[in-house]
Amino acid sequence: KLTASLDQEARKFLDLQKSIKEKKVAVLKSYSSQSGIRDRKVEVCQLLPERNAVIAYEINKKQIREFKVTRFSSVEISTEKWKNESKHKKLTVDVFDMLENPNVKATKVVLKLKRLAYNLLIEEYGNAEKDIHKNTDKDALDYPYILETHVNKMEGIGRFYIGLAREIQIVEGEELRN
Q: What is the mean pLDDT of each run of 10 residues along the chain (178 residues)?
A: 65 95 97 94 93 92 92 96 93 89 90 98 93 97 98 95 96 94
pLDDT at position 1:
45
pLDDT at position 2:
45
Q: Map the chain to HEC letters.
A: CHHHHHHHHHHHHHHHHHHHHHCEEEEEEEEEECCEEEEEEEEEEEEEHHHCEEEEEECCCCEEEEEEHHHCCEEEEEEEECCCHHHCCCCCECCCCCECCCCCCCEEEEEEECHHHHHHHHHHCHHHHHHEEECCCCCCCCCCEEEEEEECCHHHHHHHHHHCHHHEEEEECHHHHC
Tell me the pTM. 0.71
